[in-house]
């Protein structure tokens, strides 16, 4: 029985998503497969991918340039939220998924498709993000995930494809599984599956080895307006140009590599390598500017509750969830005065913040100085500490043996 009539398939041009085309038609009785490839700044020509989809049997092959939207509506809000999953991963892959689902659902509605499809397996996070993103935007649409059901190994998928004219990859395919977009790269699998094995230098493409990084420091000023990065060294840049520039600078100094064990949504621990030079530096700079411009209580509450929850929601596929919108509202309220400039010193794998200024700075030299201009009332501290510590004092008195 046919699973669907007309399907919009998220398409990358790789073996798995290519094999999905004949598979959907032959095994699952789908009449028409429309593919959709999204340009998210992965630096790859999408023309050949478009042609490949048609060759594999797609009736139509769509390519959408969504790089600008990706930065403005996905990366920049994540920077305002200092979004780091498990305190380390800036969600470069995860942020792309809700945008891709948006394009898929829009195309399905436009072309009258009754289903959308993706090539994710059943073990990863991306299937969760795709399925939930699609459902949240159109709960009626069917979701087909052939690779979750077909049970083929990679070799079997390649020979299945060959039967239907899909060429096997020409060069011996890399043992690594790589996802890339303007924000960075994620690298998994192959020898990296042993968590004790050091990543080989060849897996990196956006960051230099520290050994090859310049010996001279480079100072870079990053300016923010209401929590959004807008200029580098005083030069106003478009969102895409700004990320591109920060990737170049940080990558050149060997900044932005992450090697971590992470907890996937489906309960598996996995070893992940990321290269996220620009994004990581921007989050660090943004945090520093918040420290200068937000009160202590807002900073603590935002860091400990809002930012942490936000990064989990993104990781766990809940971008289109009402809680996410509510957190955005909180975050935007806090960003009104997060405007100013952060100075970063790049040197040999380090991006160190060495200066910051803001018209809304809450830093007061009168209060913090240890010099003669000190305006802080030292005597007031004694009474404060008495009251502040009263419960501790009572407890100590009662429990002293
Ligand atoms: N572990 C990362 C994440 O969940 C990277 C996933 C990479 N995805 C891929 N299909 N290769 O966001």
Does residue 262 share a domain with residue 150? no
Query: 171 pLDDT band (50/70/90 cuts)?
Result: low
Please give the model's pTM, rounded to 2 decimal places. Answer: 0.95
Last residue of a domain, one of 156, 177, 198: 177
**Any domain includes 19:** yes
| Burial (CB count within 10 angstroms: exposed 0-12, middle 13-18, buried 19+), residue 161 | buried
CA distance 339 to 222: 11
From residue 212, alpha-carbon distances to 201, 230, 370 in Å are: 12, 30, 42
- Which runs of E-coded beta strand occur in 45-119? 60-65, 115-117
16 is catalytic: yes
401 is catalytic: no
Range of the domain at 380: 371-400
Q: Which is more confident, 205 or 155?
A: 205
Residue tagged 């077909």 (tokens): 150
Tell me the per-residue pLDDT of 370-393, one tens digit each, with 9 for 90 and over.
988 889 889 999 999 999 999 999
Does residue 35 share a domain with residue 106? yes
In angstroms, what is the span from residue 178 Cα to ligand 1's centroid?
Answer: 8
Last residue of a domain, one of 116, 143, 177: 177
- CATH code of the domain covering residue 323: 3.90.1260.10
Q: In what order do the strands lie in the sheet with 184-188?
A: 177-181, 184-188, 269-275, 257-263
Does residue 222 share a domain with residue 168? no
Does residue 224 share a domain with residue 124? no
Mean pLDDT of the chain: 96
Does residue 207 share a domain with residue 74? no
Q: What is the dihedral of CA 197, 200, 206, 212, to 10 degrees?
A: 120
Last residue of a domain, one of 162, 177, 192: 177
In angstroms, what is the span from residue 257 Cα to ligand 1's centroid?
Answer: 15
Choosing from 12, 179, 181 the residue with most ligand 1 atoms within 8 A of its CB, the one to mutate for a pocket test is 179
Closest CA to 32 of 62, 57, 50: 57
- Please give the share of the chain, as a percent, with pLDDT higher than 70: 99
In angstroms, what is the span from residue 188 Cα to ligand 1's centroid?
Answer: 8
Query: 103 pLDDT band (50/70/90 cuts)?
Result: very high
CA distance 122 to 148: 5
**Any domain includes 152:** yes
Ligand 1 atom closest to 94 (CA): 12
Exposure of 39 in the CB half-sphere (CA atoms within 13 A): 17
Q: Looking at the predicted structure, is the pLDDT value of residue 174 above 90?
A: no
Question: What is the count of structural domains for the chain?
Answer: 3
What's the pLDDT score for residue 170?
64
CA distance 223 to 231: 5
Per-residue pLDDT averaged across 233-244, rounded?
98
**Beta 269-275 vs 257-263: how paired, if at all?**
antiparallel
CA distance 111 to 240: 30
- Which runs of E-coded beta strand occur in 134-253? 142-144, 177-181, 184-188, 218-225, 228-232, 235-236
Q: Give the DSSP letter string of 257-278.
A: EEEEEEE-TTS-EEEEEEE-HH
Q: 380 Cβ partners below 8 Å, 6+ apart? A: none
**Any domain includes 1:** no
Choosing from 125, 132, 189, 270 the residue with most ligand 1 atoms within 8 A of its CB, the one to mutate for a pocket test is 125
Q: Reduced to 3 DSSP states, what percent helix, strand and coil does the chain have, rounded to the nearest 5?
A: 45, 20, 35
Q: At what angle do helices 308-315 and 322-334 cross, to 10 degrees?
A: 140
From residue 167, alpha-carbon distances to 11, 14, 35, 313, 378 in Å are: 16, 11, 18, 38, 77
Tell me the per-residue pLDDT of 300-322, one tens digit each, with 9 for 90 and over.
999 999 999 999 999 999 999 99
Does residue 46 share a domain with residue 62? yes
Tell me the per-residue pLDDT of 179-231, one tens digit each, with 9 for 90 and over.
999 999 999 999 999 999 999 999 999 999 999 999 999 999 999 999 999 99
Does residue 109 share a domain with residue 31? yes
**Any domain includes 35:** yes
CA distance 206 to 281: 14
Does residue 239 share a domain with residue 110? no
Bridge-partner residues for 222, per DSSP?
232, 342
Does residue 14 share a domain with residue 138? yes
**Any domain includes 366:** no
**Any domain includes 207:** yes
Q: How far apart are the first and last CA of the chain?
A: 79
194 is catalytic: no
Does residue 206 share a domain with residue 165? no
In angstroms, what is the span from residue 177 Cα to ligand 1's centroid?
Answer: 9
- CATH code of the domain covering residue 145: 3.40.50.620
**Any domain includes 289:** yes
Count each helix (H run) and each strand (E run) in the chain, helices first: 16, 14
Tell me the per-residue pLDDT of 51-75, one tens digit each, with 9 for 90 and over.
999 999 999 999 999 999 999 999 9
Does residue 347 share a domain with residue 201? yes
Q: Which one is catalytic: 18, 39, 61, 126?
A: 126
Does residue 196 share a domain with residue 149? no
CA distance 294 to 335: 9
Query: What are 114's two structure tokens?
Result: 């009754």
Q: Looking at the predicted structure, is the pLDDT value of residue 172 above 80?
A: no
**Any domain includes 384:** yes
């Amino acid at each position: 029985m046919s699973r669907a009539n007309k399907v919009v398939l998220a398409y990358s041009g790789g073996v798995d998503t290519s094999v999905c085309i004949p598979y959907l038609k032959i095994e699952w009785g789908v009449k028409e497969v429309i593919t959709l490839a999204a340009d998210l700044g992965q630096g790859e020509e999408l023309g050949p991918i478009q042609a490949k989809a048609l060759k594999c049997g797609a009736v139509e092959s769509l390519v959408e340039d969504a790089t600008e939207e990706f930065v403005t509506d996905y990366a920049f809000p994540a920077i305002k939220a200092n979004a780091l999953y498990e305190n380390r991963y800036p969600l470069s892959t995860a942020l792309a998924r809700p945008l891709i689902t948006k394009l898929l659902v829009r195309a399905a509605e436009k072309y009258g498709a009754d289903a959308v499809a993706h090539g994710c397996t059943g073990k990863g996070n991306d299937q969760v993000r795709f399925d939930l993103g699609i459902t949240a935007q159109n709960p009626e649409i069917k979701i087909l995930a052939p690779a979750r059901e077909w049970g083929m190994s990679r070799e079997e998928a390649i020979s299945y494809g060959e039967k239907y004219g899909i060429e096997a990859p020409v060069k011996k395919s890399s043992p690594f599984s790589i996802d890339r977009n303007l924000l960075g790269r994620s690298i998994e699998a192959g020898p990296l599956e042993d968590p004790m094995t050091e990543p080989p230098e060849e897996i990196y493409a956006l960051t230099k080895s520290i050994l090859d990084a310049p010996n001279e420091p480079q100072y870079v000023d990053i300016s923010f307006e209401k929590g959004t990065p807008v200029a580098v060294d005083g030069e106003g840049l478009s969102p895409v140009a700004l990320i591109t520039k920060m990737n170049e600078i940080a990558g050149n100094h060997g900044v932005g590599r992450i090697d971590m064990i992470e907890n996937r949504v489906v309960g598996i621990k996995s070893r992940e390598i990321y290269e996220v030079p620009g994004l990581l530096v921007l989050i660090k700079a943004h945090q520093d500017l918040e420290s200068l411009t937000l009160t202590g209580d807002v900073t603590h509450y935002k860091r400990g509750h809002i930012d942490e929850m936000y990064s989990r929601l993104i990781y766990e596929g809940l971008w289109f969830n009402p809680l996410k919108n509510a957190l955005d509202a909180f975050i935007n309220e806090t960003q009104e005065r997060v405007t100013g400039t952060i100075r970063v010193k790049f040197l040999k794998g380090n991006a160190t913040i060495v200066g910051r200024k803001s018209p809304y700075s809450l830093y007061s030299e009168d209060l913090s100085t240890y010099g003669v201009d000190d305006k802080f009332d030292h005597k007031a501290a004694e009474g404060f500490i008495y009251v502040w510590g009263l419960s501790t004092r009572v407890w100590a008195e009662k429990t002293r043996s």
